[in-house]
Structures are given as C-alpha cells and as structure tokens.
Amino acid sequence: MKCLSLKQPFADLVVSGKKTIELRKWNTHYRGYFLVHASGNVDKDACAYFNQDPKALVIHAVIGKAVLYNVKKYESDEEFIRDKGKHLASDKYASSRYGFLLKDAVRFEKPIPLMGKLRFFNVELCL
C-alpha cells in the first residue's frame, strides 16, 4: 500500500479528519487510499498553534489512512489563503503549490512503528 510521511501535528490532524488538504511542492498522479505516517519531524510552532503537546504526539509510525481523491494546484496566494481552513498551514508553507485533497481519514487504534521515506513509498502491512 502507498504511504506518505507527514510532520506532526499535521499527520494527527489528517487522521482526525480536521485537515483535508495536504500541501506539497510536488504533484502526484496517485489516487486512492494511502497510509498516513507520522515522521520524526515535529513543527513546534504548529503544535503551539493547535495547542498540542509535541511530546505527546506519535512519531516514526503509521497512525492511520486516508483517501487522496484529487490534487489542486494553487495558482495564487489568494487561493492558498482561501483554503487555510482545510490545509491548516501557516504562511511558512505558502511555497507549497499543490494541495492533495483528502477524505475518509481513519485513525488506527494502535500506531505501527515504521521509518518514513520521501514522497509516496510502498509498505507491506497486514491491516
């Protein structure tokens, strides 16, 4: 199954259904379910903004899954700002010009330890 690493707290926000657009600087043709991996990187400013304790967040593990159903290309800063309630990112991520549109996110009861990789990568897990 495809897997994508996200910084915390963004991985947690995706599997909770609060973040429905994942920002990237690159595009993808992939559509379908993918595993949400919480990387070892934690955005402490975002944790403070979302009132989350960085030490309480799971890292280096698959924490859920979601469906990528489309990709939106941001042609302007106005479009990026308009979607802030969906991507939940600060202006420091404004250089990300692609928004992966997500739905049907599910958090797994138990995280599955795994080291991440860049971009989408394949993982064989028995779910």
In this prediction, residue 127 carries a pLDDT of 61
Q: Six-digit token pair at 38?
A: 């919480």
In angstroms, the CA 84 to CA 74 distance is 12
Residue 113 near residue 36 (C-beta atoms within 8 A): no
pTM above 0.85, yes or no: yes
H helix intervals, 1-76: 10-15, 44-49
DSSP-based helix, strand, coil % in the chain, nearest 5 = 20, 40, 35
Cα–Cα distance, 8 to 30 (Å, whole number): 23
Record the tokens describing residue 23, joined without a space: 């920002």
pLDDT at 1: 92
Q: State yes or no: pLDDT of 126 exceeds 70.
A: no
Question: What tens digit of pLDDT does each residue of 25-84 get?
Answer: 999 999 999 999 999 999 999 999 999 999 999 999 999 999 999 999 999 989 999 999
Taking domain 2-113, whether its CATH number is 2.30.130.30 is answered by yes
pLDDT attached to residue 43:
93
pLDDT in tens, 82-111: 999 999 988 877 777 999 999 999 999 999
Sole residue written with tokens 């009132």: 51
Q: Where are the domains of the chain?
A: 2-113
